[in-house]
Amino acid sequence: MTEDRQQMFRQRYADGDMPWDSGITPPEIFDILGELPPGKALDLGCGTGTVIRDLLRQGWQADGIDFVPRAIELARTKLANFPPDSHRFFCADVTRLAALPELRGPYDLIIDIGCGHSIDKALNEAYAAGISASLRRGGCFMLYASHPRPESTVGWTPLQVARLFKGKLELFWEQRSYDSALGVPSSWYRLHKPPEAVKSD
């Protein structure tokens, strides 16, 4: 993500102009939560903590990361009534997970709803490697990403997602959608970390 784009997000949080902050957890996440037993989760680009709130309500322990200090402040306020040991928030870079020893991985579930697709493309490999290292074997990664537009640096095609996680995570399914905020197609992806290490020939 460029510095200009980072500053844009910081300013919009400061101004309270966050149209992406619906306060509603997507149904795709509730579907996964209805399938998996409660465990440990990590939300990348957690914003004001809406998804983490619903994870906690369903018995999960959850950590959240966002680079905007105001977002983390709002998230902590939103979850103030939950037990303090049930969740943690970090104002940090999602491409540098190894630099956060306080994270409580390995995680059973990692979630990214529109965060990774806007990072600097030179950091894509670090992003994917960090997720793979932080996810337990057999764990699930839920990713939402818009498809790219010619005039923007935001977005991943399904082929780019497949290439990004090749050798790290296995694609379980892809579900096409539409990002009404950006006016472009988008996709949900469910990826799994193989239960056993892939043996080299």
Cβ-Cβ contacts under 8 Å for 42 (sequence gap 6 or more):
62, 63, 64, 65, 103, 105, 107, 109, 110, 111, 134
Give 111 or 68, the one with higher predicted confidence.
111
- Please give the Cα distance from 18 to 150 (Å, whole number): 24
**What tokens appear for 185 in the block?**
């197609």
Q: Kindly indicate the confidence band of residue 1, based on its pLDDT and cuts at 50, 70 and 90.
A: low
Query: 14-53 burial by CB neighbour count: b if 16+ within 10 A, else e?
Result: eeeebeebeeebbebbeebbeeeeebbbbbbbbbbbbbbb
Segment 94-100 shows an average pLDDT of 95
Q: Which domains, ranges and CATH numbers included, belong to the chain?
A: 3-192 (3.40.50.150)
Between CA 55 and CA 80 the distance in angstroms is: 15
Model confidence, pTM: 0.90
Structure tokens at 131: 């997720």
d(CA 178, CA 184): 6
pLDDT beyond 90 at 17 = no
Kindly indicate the confidence band of residue 13, based on its pLDDT and cuts at 50, 70 and 90.
Answer: low
